Structure 1
Amino acid sequence: MPKDVPAGYSRMQIILHWAVPVLVVVQFLLGPAMTTVYEGMKTGTPQGLPVLAWLHVGIGFVVLFIACWRVGLRFARGVPAPTFEPQTPEQGFLAFVTHELTFFLYLTILAIPVLGAIGWFYQNDVAASAHASMKYLLILVVAVHVSISLFHQFVLRDGSLDRMRKLRD
């Protein structure tokens, strides 16, 4: 029997959604400190503030935990139906991009902390480099996500952005 589609996102889904970008901004601010400490570890000459590096690691685990929690809620509770049914090929493309973007956003938010943990705890330069480089992918995916959300809200005027701002249980 198919699961009922919720009318909106739950309070927890909304809180977790907005917690991730706040924590990611903090991570971007802590990134240079982490890089300095990591490079000092690799060369054997301590540099920077290790407490900031460990804060970066801790917040990374929190982001990973929240991302897993969000995926779990997504499967357990479901998500609201799309805000519109595509009527044109352009709208169909927009719906496709929106759906696939969600997958890549989750994948990126899950992969970055895992790669960072492997880089930090195993001093694996490949994982650390991939972790650092993926910030550009994250910026791109988030920029497209925000652009599509704003397009839905202000051009299509379908209220899709409101679904992640207002509780409708």
Structure 2
Amino acid sequence: MNVKHYSKGLSLLHWLVAIMFAASYIISDGMPKYFDQHLENIDVSGQWVANFHVYAGLAFIAVVLIRLIVRLTSQKPEPIGSADSRLNKIATGTHHLLYLLMFLVPVAGVIGWYEKITIFGDIHVLLMNLMLGLVGLHIAAAIYHQWVLKDGILSRISLLKSEKRN
């Protein structure tokens, strides 16, 4: 059966991850200071930003694991390929790396925070910056597909589709 859209569940998880990613990134101002204080056993439990960022990271891991399970067990549409096989490889590699980073970024943060290991905090920041760049590339590619190639790629992951999904 030729599936034209991602399932509603997978679409919902895609956009939930996107919102959680954006919120956690935006609400991270001061985290290096809070992390340093936490390492010095200074109580930062009253800091809203620190609490939000840490618990959002834990929730992010759970949602990403659910998303991965749903992705692996649900039907998905065929990739919208390019005539240039290099672009297809870049798209596939970018998606695989995004999935890996969606897991590694918060795990590094959680290990750094709960085990109080500075290097994991540094790894968390480094991987987060890499992920931010890949998310930017992912968004740029979606915009290019949607408005330059006009191949309707965004309708495949949209929650607003009124027609019946396959």
Deviation at 1:46, TM superposition (A): 4.6
Aligned to 2:137: 144
1:12 to 9, 13, 16: 9
Matched, 1:124 2:117: yes
Question: Does the aligned pair in 2 maintain the 1:105–1:142 contact within 8 Å?
Answer: yes
Report % sequence identity.
23
Matched, 1:57 2:57: no
1:98 to 91, 95, 103: 91
Question: Does the aligned pair in 1 maintain the 2:44–2:50 contact within 8 Å?
Answer: no
Deviation at 1:159, TM superposition (A): 1.0
Aligned to 1:111: 104
Summarize deviations over 1:133-168 as a string: whole Å, max 9, x none: 222101110011111111111222111121111543
Per mean C-alpha deviation after superposition, the further-off stretch among 124-133 and 45-54 is 45-54
CA distance in 2, matches of 1:138, 1:121: 22
Instruction: Give the letter aligned to residue 146 of structure 2.
Output: Q
For structure 2, the residue ranges without an aligned partner over 5 or more in a row are: none
CA distance in 1, matches of 2:25, 2:77: 31
Summarize deviations over 1:7-51 as a string: whole Å, max 9, x none: 311111111101112111211123223322211122344568434
CA distance in 2, matches of 1:47, 1:69: 30
Aligned to 1:32: 29
Change (3 A) 1:44 1:65: closer
1:67 to 53, 64, 68: 64
CA distance in 2, matches of 1:43, 1:83: 50
Aligned to 2:151: 158
Comparing both structures, which one devotes a greater share of its residues to helix?
1
3-state SS of 1:80 partner? coil
Deviation at 1:70, TM superposition (A): 1.3
Instruction: Give the letter aligned to residue 12 of structure 1.
Output: G
